[in-house]
């Protein structure tokens, strides 16, 4: 199993370190030819979603990744990655529009509004969560399972083989969310 990590900006190195801890093969996706490798799953890290969307198009990665996502490629999107997967984006334009969620960008405010907490994740128990200028999910469609909420806002969800978190599990020592993603791929 090989996991591609979009490495245009954001916390891609931290996702790689977490996958190393779990013994999962992975590689960085920086240009079109990186997609020539076998790809069993994809991680869309945090960063700035509008910049990432522009870079995806400028580097000719958008169309081939969108086709793979639509064909059922398992994807884990954190923070900006969540925004990239959403069908509806308040205050922004959808990118892949693959997941039946409506998100609010920068919902927790500026960098100073960043925070950490612990909350229950369905099937995984209480998990540490680090939010950095994070979005949250305003609403989820009927085929989307809500996995976690913080202060009444949806912060993690899953729709078939698409998993999203508004927080950054790669910034904590807890590998449970990444392990869940790997289990999704193997299922």
Active-site residue set = 79, 168, 170
Helices (H), ranges, 22-115: 49-58, 62-70, 80-85
Distance (Å, whole) CA 158 – CA 111:
26
Bridge partners of residue 101, in order along the sequence:
140
Pairing of strands 125-131, 41-44: unpaired
Contacts of 21 (CB under 8 A, 6+ apart): 175
């Amino acid at each position: 199993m090989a996991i591609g990590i979009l490495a245009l900006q954001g916390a891609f190195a931290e996702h790689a370190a977490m996958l190393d801890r779990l013994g999962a093969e992975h590689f960085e996706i920086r240009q079109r030819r990186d997609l020539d490798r076998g790809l069993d799953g994809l991680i869309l890290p945090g960063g700035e979603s509008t910049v990432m969307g522009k870079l995806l198009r400028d580097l000719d990665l958008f169309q081939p990744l969108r086709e793979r996502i639509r064909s059922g490629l398992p994807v884990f999107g954190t923070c900006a990655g969540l925004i990239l997967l959403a069908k509806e984006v308040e205050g922004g334009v959808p990118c892949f529009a693959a997941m039946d969620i409506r998100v609010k960008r920068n919902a927790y405010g500026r960098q100073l509004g960043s925070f950490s907490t612990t909350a229950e994740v369905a099937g995984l128990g209480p998990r540490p969560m680090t939010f950095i200028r994070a979005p949250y999910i305003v609403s989820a469609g009927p085929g989307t399972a809500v996995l976690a909420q913080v202060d009444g806002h949806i912060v993690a969800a899953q729709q078939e083989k698409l998993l999203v978190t508004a927080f950054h599990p790669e910034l904590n020592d807890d590998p449970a969310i990444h392990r869940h993603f790997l289990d999704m791929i193997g299922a």
